[in-house]
Amino acid sequence: MADMLRGALIIGQSGGPTAVINASAYGVIRTALDSDCITTVYGANYGIKGVLDDRLFIMDKEDRAELDKLMYTPSSALGSCRYKMKDPDEDETDYRRILEIFKKYDVRYFCYNGGNDSMDTCNKISKYMKKAGYECRIMGVPKTIDNDLYGTDHCPGYGSAAKYIATSIMEVARDTVVYDTGVVTIIECMGRHAGWLTAAAALANIHVRSCDLIYLPEMDFSMEQFIADVKRVYEQNGNCIAAVSEGLHYADGTFVSEAKTSATDGFGHAQLGGLAVRLANTVKSELGVKTRGIELSLLQRCAAHCASGTDINEAFMAGKAAVEAMLKGETDKMVGFECERKDGVYSCSTKLFELSDVANYENKVPLSWINDEGNDVTEEFVKYALPLINGETPMVKKDGLPDFASLKRVLA
Amino acid sequence: MADMLRGALIIGQSGGPTAVINASAYGVIRTALDSDCITTVYGANYGIKGVLDDRLFIMDKEDRAELDKLMYTPSSALGSCRYKMKDPDEDETDYRRILEIFKKYDVRYFCYNGGNDSMDTCNKISKYMKKAGYECRIMGVPKTIDNDLYGTDHCPGYGSAAKYIATSIMEVARDTVVYDTGVVTIIECMGRHAGWLTAAAALANIHVRSCDLIYLPEMDFSMEQFIADVKRVYEQNGNCIAAVSEGLHYADGTFVSEAKTSATDGFGHAQLGGLAVRLANTVKSELGVKTRGIELSLLQRCAAHCASGTDINEAFMAGKAAVEAMLKGETDKMVGFECERKDGVYSCSTKLFELSDVANYENKVPLSWINDEGNDVTEEFVKYALPLINGETPMVKKDGLPDFASLKRVLA
């Protein structure tokens, strides 16, 4: 029999948004609203900052019909943050404040929906609450288009971004061959250290070859090899499409796009971008051919209209499983996926991972899934990723446009 | 009783592709295949160049099921060109060659699917054939995401691009407000001289305000005013999204994006691009805020996965009407649309326009549809454009990805 802990729940969203992060949040919210143990469901505005600032939305006051739309509403409906919590051994201020808010609202359940850094936040809060002797169950719900969380087969958000990337490359490929004069098109995908998103370009090749070359940040980049690759493909096909990761770097670690901007995000990551145009210009001057650089930019992480039905359902499932696990007494864990791909049949179930194992570890594309030339991925990757992009969004349209959720956001 | 002219038909596609140009081609092909008068249906490879080069695909040899997929396959399935025909009074070479090919295949029907320049090509061929005494009916079928063809209410291709732009801006708008730190996002849309595509950003505002500022090339651009507008919105909302046309220019005619590249396309148009990043950088240095530039690039014209159902059906209807009109004896015309928007009810029917009226005239956004400040469009524009983005694509997916047409392309 589960340990019946009565109290409120807070759900927070953190890090860069995805097309399905709200589906996970809804999995948490819906399950919590339906639970007898959970007295009130709060949504923290701007992630953990909403807890620190005492800005909590009462989810019980939202209309069910509007909450239902979270299944296909992209981006973080509650607001997100990139707030790095200090180590509690160095500075307890934030943790004391969180405990104060938890006590104020009798919060006994806390779900944090985010990536690596969020799992670290979760883990630190969990340890502090234990030390403070405050009974509270804490669960991480993964999200990241980067797909770089440890342990889980994949991360909610990745499938939808991968579907958008593959679909867009298939479409761009059709567009770039219309003239009898060739063009080299460079398509830049997100991914600082992990190449999962860029690897998704390979999915564009499963029906008809659409993407010729794929470069991931798991390998050191060589401009000479890149130019030689493009030259070979262009001479052979009269056209060339290459997918490149924003995080491409030379052997010495320098980002290929570096010196573009010196701005950094809250965690000290360099803000990358402009790589596609940079590579397109280099190809143009080296090979004297027409080029075009396309940066998929934010579009790849918010394109809910092209989200994967599988991804949406799994994202909801992860949120639901998080609450169910907490109600059963689990804490200090992250919900992840365990999947089987056998004879073309894909199955996915949730599994709990230790937060301490997950936090701050980046899961990259296995080197064995990258070809010897470092300019494509293998069939293993395609087998892995293809089931994740299957199925369509249940998005409802109004006047031909998405009818996104519009929450009341009633503050506690 | 219609004049029963027996002979073959050639369909060619020209200019930049769209998400629905193949739906128009299919309207022509299907109707021609079903007609008793039309003996063979040829598709010209790379537009008029395919006629000059004697590269014609026999459409009668294609599978019906594969041809059906043209309804949702983006880009020019037959290949396109940007080939400017000389004036026949200056140089008859090309025209003599076209006549030779028409005679060789007994071509009595010619459909050209394109924009302004293509209608000019059509008109010149039509005049030459008349002069040469060769009986041949010639019909233009409009396409252009730019929506700048004279006479017709709108152009096939525009609705789908507009839908993609509005949808993407709605999604990006959700993405850019997730943090409590603001950002100015500049979204660059295509359109050298006509601002129809950029104006479509206003459709993103019909449910929830998503786009704050809209700048069209119909108005002279003032960087000072732009920075002041952005500053005002950012200070008011803590965030700002602006849609800008690639063709923005200062009062002296200089493109804002100029000096970016000196390359030109086949018609001597300057190749624009990089405006979004340029404006984002200017805002960043002037206002000291976080900025992001997003160029929708080719994505906006090939995103068949987000095409408008209305646009697809009308594109097919235009192709069909072209063949039906030719079978009735019409020639030297362009099929266009005549629409009614009354009490929220939209209706659209085809109408024939004189090619000589259409050729080389650019239809721009009426100045009365732009607000006094020159940073938004009026309700009139929304009333005009909203029906055009309605309905969804009938696209069939395989493995979660578009199942595009793959033609055999059997050469005559």
State whether CATH 1.10.645.10 applies to domain B7-143+306-361+393-402: no
Report the interhelical angle of A21-33 vs A309-327 (nearest 10°). 40
Measured in angstroms, the CA of A112 and the nearest CA of chain B are apart by: 15
Taking CA–CA distances from A76, the nearest residue in chain B reads B178
**Residue A76 pLDDT more than 50?**
yes
Choosing among 3.40.309.10, 3.90.550.10, 3.40.50.460, 3.40.50.300, the CATH entry for B158-302 is: 3.40.50.460
d(CA B79, CA B14): 8
pLDDT in tens, A218-262: 999 999 999 999 999 999 999 999 999 999 999 999 999 874 443
Contact indicator for A193, A144 with CB cutoff of 8 Å = no
B146 part of the active site: yes
In the three-class reduction of DSSP (H, G, I as helix; E, B as strand; rest coil), residue B13 is classed as: strand
B269 Cα distance to chain centroid: 16
Mean pLDDT of chain A: 93
Q: What residue spans define the domains of chain B?
A: 7-143+306-361+393-402, 158-302
pLDDT in tens, B230-270: 999 999 999 999 999 999 999 999 999 874 443 444 444 44
For residues A315-323, give the mean pLDDT. Answer: 98
Would you call A79 and B171 a contact, using CB atoms and an 8 Å cutoff?
no
A270 pLDDT band (50/70/90 cuts)?
Answer: very low
To which residue do tokens 């360099």 refer? A270
Angle at B91 between CA B87 and CA B95, to 5 degrees: 80
pLDDT for the residue A33? 98
**Residue A78 pLDDT more than 80?**
yes
pLDDT in tens, A90-146: 999 999 999 999 999 999 999 999 988 899 999 999 999 999 999 999 999 999 999
Would you call A206 and B401 a contact, using CB atoms and an 8 Å cutoff?
yes
Would you call B170 and A397 a contact, using CB atoms and an 8 Å cutoff?
no
d(CA A236, CA A255): 30
Alpha-carbon separation of residue A321 from A157, A308, A326, B28 (angstroms): 17, 20, 8, 53
Contact indicator for A138, A122 with CB cutoff of 8 Å = yes
pLDDT for the residue A343? 87
Would you call A207 and B292 a contact, using CB atoms and an 8 Å cutoff?
no
Taking CA–CA distances from A344, the nearest residue in chain B reads B399
Residues of chain B with pLDDT under 70: 1-3, 259-273
Of the partner residues A174, A203, A204, the one whose CB lies closest to the CB of residue B75: A174
Contact indicator for A183, B263 with CB cutoff of 8 Å = no
Would you call B175 and A75 a contact, using CB atoms and an 8 Å cutoff?
yes
pLDDT in tens, B273-290: 489 988 998 999 999 999
Across A45-135, the runs of DSSP E, i.e. the strands, are 56-58, 107-114
In the three-class reduction of DSSP (H, G, I as helix; E, B as strand; rest coil), residue B336 is classed as: strand
Contact indicator for A231, A182 with CB cutoff of 8 Å = no
List A146, A212, A311, A376, catalytic entry:
A146
pLDDT in tens, A41-72: 999 999 999 999 999 999 999 999 999 999 99
**Mutation target vs A (from B171, B177, B187, B292; most A CBs, 10 A cutoff):** B171
- ipTM value > 0.90: yes
Mean pLDDT of chain B: 93
Sequential DSSP letters for A318-342:
HHHHHHHHHHTT--SEEEEEEEEEE
pLDDT in tens, B158-177: 999 999 999 999 999 999 98
Alpha helices in A188-245 (DSSP H): 196-199, 223-237
Taking CA–CA distances from A302, the nearest residue in chain B reads B171
pLDDT for the residue A2? 53
Taking CA–CA distances from B53, the nearest residue in chain A reads A180
Would you call A402 and B295 a contact, using CB atoms and an 8 Å cutoff?
no
pLDDT in tens, B24-51: 999 999 999 999 999 999 999 999 999 9
pLDDT for the residue A265? 40
The fold adopted by the segment(s) A7-145+304-360+393-402 is: Rossmann fold (3.40.50)
pLDDT for the residue A328? 96
**Mutation target vs A (from B80, B164, B174, B190; most A CBs, 10 A cutoff):** B174
